[in-house]
Amino acid sequence: MNTTIDVSPDDGVGRSSGIEWRRVAEIGSTNDALLAGEFQAGPRGPIVLRADRQLAGRGRRGRRWIADPHRALTFSIAFERPIDGSDAPLAGFSLAVGVALAEALVGLVPDLRLKWPNDLVRGQGKAGGILVETRRTGHIERVVAGIGLNLLEPLQFDREAGPAGALVPVGLFDHAVPTDPDELLHACALAVSVAFEDFVARGMGAFRERWEQFDAVAGRPVVLRDGDREIARGTALGIDAHGGLRIREAGGERVHAVGEVSLRLDAATA
C-alpha cells in the first residue's frame, strides 16, 4: 500500500469549514492512508477521507470491516495537535466520537444508541463502528477516527456467526436513506471535528452526561470479554469520568478501561 494519499481531481478534493475533504473510489484503508501521511512543521487542520470501497477496512482488534458501497458510508477524519513529552494520549476519544455521531444522527434515527466503547446500535443490532488510532512525532500527535456506518442493512451476513449475545449488523434506516449521504457525511464530520476540539480542551468531562443520554447498556446485565476470555460479568452502571465502563460484579463495582475488552449483552439473562 502507498504511504501517501493519492486523490485525483475526479475523486474530489475540497475545503470548507476549515476541513479538507477528500474522496476516493477505492482504497486499502482510510485510517491507514491518513496515518501514513507525512507530518508538516506544525499541526494541520482536519482532513476527511471518504472511500466508496475499502479493501482492508477494519474494526477493533483488527477485525475486518466489510461494507457495501451502496448501503454504507465509510470515512476517516485526521486531526493533529501540538504535544510535548508529558502529554498523555487522548484516552476515551472514541466515546466522544460516538456522542458526536449520535447527536448528529438522532434526529433521523430516534432509536440510535451507543454501546461502550465504540458501537452505534439500534435494538440488538450494530449500525456503525468507530476505530481511533494515533501516531506521534516529537511535537505533533495525529489522531485518526475511522467511522463506518451501515445506512441500510447489509445484504449478506451470517446471523449465526459470533458468540452468543453478539450484535448482528443493521441499518441506520429501515427502507431508504432519507437524505443525501454527502449531507450525512458533512454533518457527522463537522460534529466530530467540534468534539475533537472539546475533548482536547476539556477531556471526557465534556461528554460523560451526553453519553448517558445514548447509553444502550446501563442497568443491563453484560459480559465483558477479551477475545474468547471472559473478563467480567455483572450489571453495567455507565461510564466513569475517564470513559471507563463501570460494572457491578459479584465482588463489587469495578471499572474497565476503554479499548481493553469487547462487550456483549448477557444472553443468559438479558
Which residue ranges make up each domain of the chain? 13-212, 221-265
Q: How confident is the model at residue 3 (pLDDT cuts 50, 70, 90)?
A: very low
- Taking residues 218-244, what's their average pLDDT? 91
Q: What is the mean pLDDT of residues 197-216?
A: 96
Provide the annotated active-site residues.
Answer: 60, 126, 264
Least confidently predicted of 48-52, 157-161, 252-256? 157-161
Is-same-fold flag (13-212; 221-265)? Answer: no
Alpha carbons 90 and 25: distance in angstroms, whole number: 31
CA count, 13 A, side-chain hemisphere, 76: 29
CATH of region 13-212, choose from 3.30.360.10, 3.40.190.10, 3.30.930.10, 1.10.3720.10:
3.30.930.10
The three cell numbers of residue 259 are 479499548
Residue 157 has pLDDT above 70, yes or no: no
Q: Which residue did the predictor score with more confidence, 2 or 189?
A: 189
Least confident among 80-89, 126-135, 195-204? 80-89
For residue 68, what pLDDT is reported? 73
| Bond from prior residue into 154 cis (ω within 30 degrees of 0) | no
Instruction: Give me the chain's average pLDDT, please.
Output: 85
pLDDT at residue 31, as a whole number: 95
Segment 164-168 mean pLDDT: 64
Question: Which of 109, 138, 137 has its CA nearest to residue 121?
Answer: 109
Listed range (53-57, 110-114, 134-138, 217-221) with the worst mean pLDDT: 53-57
**The pLDDT of residue 1:** 32
Q: Domain 221-265 maps to which CATH number in 3.40.50.720, 2.30.30.100, 2.60.40.1120, 1.10.10.10?
A: 2.30.30.100
Bridge pairing between strands 47-54 and 19-27: parallel
Confidence of residue 82 (pLDDT cuts 50, 70, 90): very high
Which residues does 62 contact at the CB level (< 8 Å), separation at least 6?
none
pLDDT in tens, 28-56: 999 999 999 999 999 999 999 999 988 86
So what's the pLDDT on residue 155?
Answer: 78
**Across the strands, what pairs with 246?**
255
What does the pLDDT read at residue 64? 57
Q: How far is CA 181 from CA 28, 150, 173, in A?
A: 21, 11, 12
Q: How many residues does the chain have?
A: 270
Residue 97 has pLDDT above 60, yes or no: yes
91: confidence class by pLDDT, cuts 50, 70, 90: confident
Q: What cell does 224 get?
A: 465483558
Report the pLDDT value the prediction gives residue 214, as an integer from 0 to 100: 98
